[in-house]
Amino acid sequence: MSLAARRIRQGPQWSGVTLIDKPSVWQRRVLGSLLRLKQLPQSWDSYGSPQLQYGAEAAAAELIASLAVLEPPLPHVAPVPGGGVQFEWEYRDKSLEIEVQPDGSMEYLVVTETGEAGEGPIAQKHTQVPLLIRWLTASHDRPNR
Protein backbone atom coordinates (compact mmCIF):
# COMPACT_ATOMS: atom_id res chain seq x y z
CA MET A 1 0.00 0.00 0.00
CA SER A 2 1.47 3.37 -0.96
CA LEU A 3 1.09 6.31 1.38
CA ALA A 4 1.66 9.96 0.62
CA ALA A 5 2.54 12.29 3.45
CA ARG A 6 1.58 15.92 3.61
CA ARG A 7 3.56 17.86 6.15
CA ILE A 8 2.13 21.00 7.69
CA ARG A 9 4.81 23.51 8.45
CA GLN A 10 4.55 26.26 11.04
CA GLY A 11 7.57 28.46 11.46
CA PRO A 12 10.89 26.60 11.40
CA GLN A 13 9.45 23.34 12.81
CA TRP A 14 7.03 20.71 11.54
CA SER A 15 3.77 20.84 13.47
CA GLY A 16 2.22 17.68 12.10
CA VAL A 17 2.10 15.02 9.44
CA THR A 18 -1.11 13.75 7.87
CA LEU A 19 -0.95 10.40 6.09
CA ILE A 20 -3.09 10.10 3.00
CA ASP A 21 -3.76 6.62 1.64
CA LYS A 22 -3.65 6.81 -2.16
CA PRO A 23 -4.86 10.39 -2.65
CA SER A 24 -7.25 10.74 -5.57
CA VAL A 25 -6.51 12.85 -8.64
CA TRP A 26 -9.13 15.34 -7.36
CA GLN A 27 -7.41 15.55 -3.98
CA ARG A 28 -3.92 15.97 -5.48
CA ARG A 29 -5.10 18.76 -7.79
CA VAL A 30 -6.88 20.72 -5.05
CA LEU A 31 -4.02 20.24 -2.57
CA GLY A 32 -1.67 21.45 -5.31
CA SER A 33 -3.73 24.64 -5.65
CA LEU A 34 -3.60 25.14 -1.88
CA LEU A 35 0.17 24.62 -1.79
CA ARG A 36 0.62 27.18 -4.60
CA LEU A 37 -1.17 29.74 -2.41
CA LYS A 38 1.33 28.99 0.34
CA GLN A 39 4.03 30.35 -2.00
CA LEU A 40 2.43 33.80 -2.27
CA PRO A 41 4.65 36.54 -0.84
CA GLN A 42 3.75 38.86 2.00
CA SER A 43 1.51 41.66 0.67
CA TRP A 44 0.55 39.49 -2.34
CA ASP A 45 -2.42 41.78 -3.01
CA SER A 46 -0.32 44.99 -2.71
CA TYR A 47 -2.46 46.02 0.30
CA GLY A 48 -0.36 44.34 2.99
CA SER A 49 -2.21 41.01 3.20
CA PRO A 50 -0.27 38.29 4.96
CA GLN A 51 0.54 34.93 3.46
CA LEU A 52 -1.79 31.98 3.97
CA GLN A 53 -2.04 31.51 7.73
CA TYR A 54 -1.44 28.17 9.44
CA GLY A 55 -5.03 27.93 10.79
CA ALA A 56 -6.48 28.43 7.31
CA GLU A 57 -4.01 26.02 5.71
CA ALA A 58 -4.69 23.24 8.23
CA ALA A 59 -8.49 23.65 8.07
CA ALA A 60 -8.41 23.80 4.25
CA ALA A 61 -6.32 20.61 4.06
CA GLU A 62 -8.80 18.89 6.38
CA LEU A 63 -11.69 20.15 4.24
CA ILE A 64 -10.01 18.78 1.10
CA ALA A 65 -9.49 15.40 2.76
CA SER A 66 -13.13 15.23 3.85
CA LEU A 67 -14.40 16.15 0.37
CA ALA A 68 -12.13 13.69 -1.44
CA VAL A 69 -14.60 10.83 -0.94
CA LEU A 70 -17.37 12.90 -2.58
CA GLU A 71 -15.12 14.06 -5.45
CA PRO A 72 -17.16 17.18 -6.24
CA PRO A 73 -16.31 19.29 -9.28
CA LEU A 74 -12.88 20.90 -9.01
CA PRO A 75 -13.11 24.19 -7.14
CA HIS A 76 -11.34 27.40 -7.96
CA VAL A 77 -8.99 27.98 -5.01
CA ALA A 78 -8.14 31.60 -4.25
CA PRO A 79 -6.40 33.54 -1.51
CA VAL A 80 -8.46 35.79 0.75
CA PRO A 81 -7.06 39.03 2.17
CA GLY A 82 -6.01 38.52 5.75
CA GLY A 83 -4.48 35.07 5.24
CA GLY A 84 -7.47 32.88 4.41
CA VAL A 85 -8.46 30.78 1.42
CA GLN A 86 -11.66 30.44 -0.58
CA PHE A 87 -13.01 27.45 -2.50
CA GLU A 88 -15.43 28.42 -5.28
CA TRP A 89 -17.68 26.15 -7.32
CA GLU A 90 -19.98 27.05 -10.19
CA TYR A 91 -22.00 24.06 -11.26
CA ARG A 92 -24.91 24.26 -13.66
CA ASP A 93 -26.70 27.44 -12.54
CA LYS A 94 -25.60 27.30 -8.89
CA SER A 95 -22.63 28.69 -7.00
CA LEU A 96 -21.04 27.69 -3.72
CA GLU A 97 -18.22 29.44 -1.92
CA ILE A 98 -16.55 28.18 1.22
CA GLU A 99 -14.19 30.64 2.85
CA VAL A 100 -11.65 29.43 5.38
CA GLN A 101 -10.64 32.23 7.73
CA PRO A 102 -7.07 32.66 9.02
CA ASP A 103 -8.09 31.04 12.34
CA GLY A 104 -9.54 27.98 10.55
CA SER A 105 -13.21 28.89 10.97
CA MET A 106 -15.39 28.59 7.85
CA GLU A 107 -18.30 30.38 6.22
CA TYR A 108 -20.35 29.57 3.14
CA LEU A 109 -22.29 31.46 0.47
CA VAL A 110 -24.71 29.79 -1.93
CA VAL A 111 -26.47 31.30 -4.93
CA THR A 112 -29.38 29.34 -6.41
CA GLU A 113 -30.53 29.04 -10.01
CA THR A 114 -33.03 31.85 -9.35
CA GLY A 115 -30.37 34.17 -7.94
CA GLU A 116 -31.38 33.75 -4.29
CA ALA A 117 -28.43 33.82 -1.92
CA GLY A 118 -27.82 32.28 1.48
CA GLU A 119 -24.82 32.47 3.73
CA GLY A 120 -23.68 31.55 7.19
CA PRO A 121 -21.01 30.05 9.38
CA ILE A 122 -20.03 26.40 9.08
CA ALA A 123 -20.15 25.14 12.65
CA GLN A 124 -20.18 21.40 11.91
CA LYS A 125 -18.00 21.05 8.84
CA HIS A 126 -18.22 17.26 8.66
CA THR A 127 -22.02 17.51 8.46
CA GLN A 128 -22.66 20.83 6.72
CA VAL A 129 -20.03 20.71 3.97
CA PRO A 130 -21.17 17.38 2.45
CA LEU A 131 -24.75 18.73 2.46
CA LEU A 132 -23.62 21.87 0.65
CA ILE A 133 -21.76 19.80 -1.96
CA ARG A 134 -24.77 17.52 -2.45
CA TRP A 135 -26.96 20.62 -2.90
CA LEU A 136 -24.52 21.98 -5.50
CA THR A 137 -24.52 18.81 -7.57
CA ALA A 138 -28.23 17.94 -7.14
CA SER A 139 -31.11 19.37 -9.12
CA HIS A 140 -33.11 21.03 -6.32
CA ASP A 141 -32.85 24.70 -5.30
CA ARG A 142 -32.09 25.23 -1.62
CA PRO A 143 -29.32 23.69 0.48
CA ASN A 144 -30.23 21.70 3.57
CA ARG A 145 -28.45 23.31 6.47
Per-residue pLDDT tens for 30-73?
A: 999 999 999 999 999 999 999 999 999 999 999 998 898 888 99
Sign of CA dihedral 127, 128, 133, 138: positive
Is-above-0.85 flag for pTM?
Answer: no
Contact 87, 72 (CB under 8 A): no
Per-residue pLDDT tens for 80-136?
A: 999 999 999 999 999 999 999 999 999 999 999 899 999 999 988 888 999 999 999
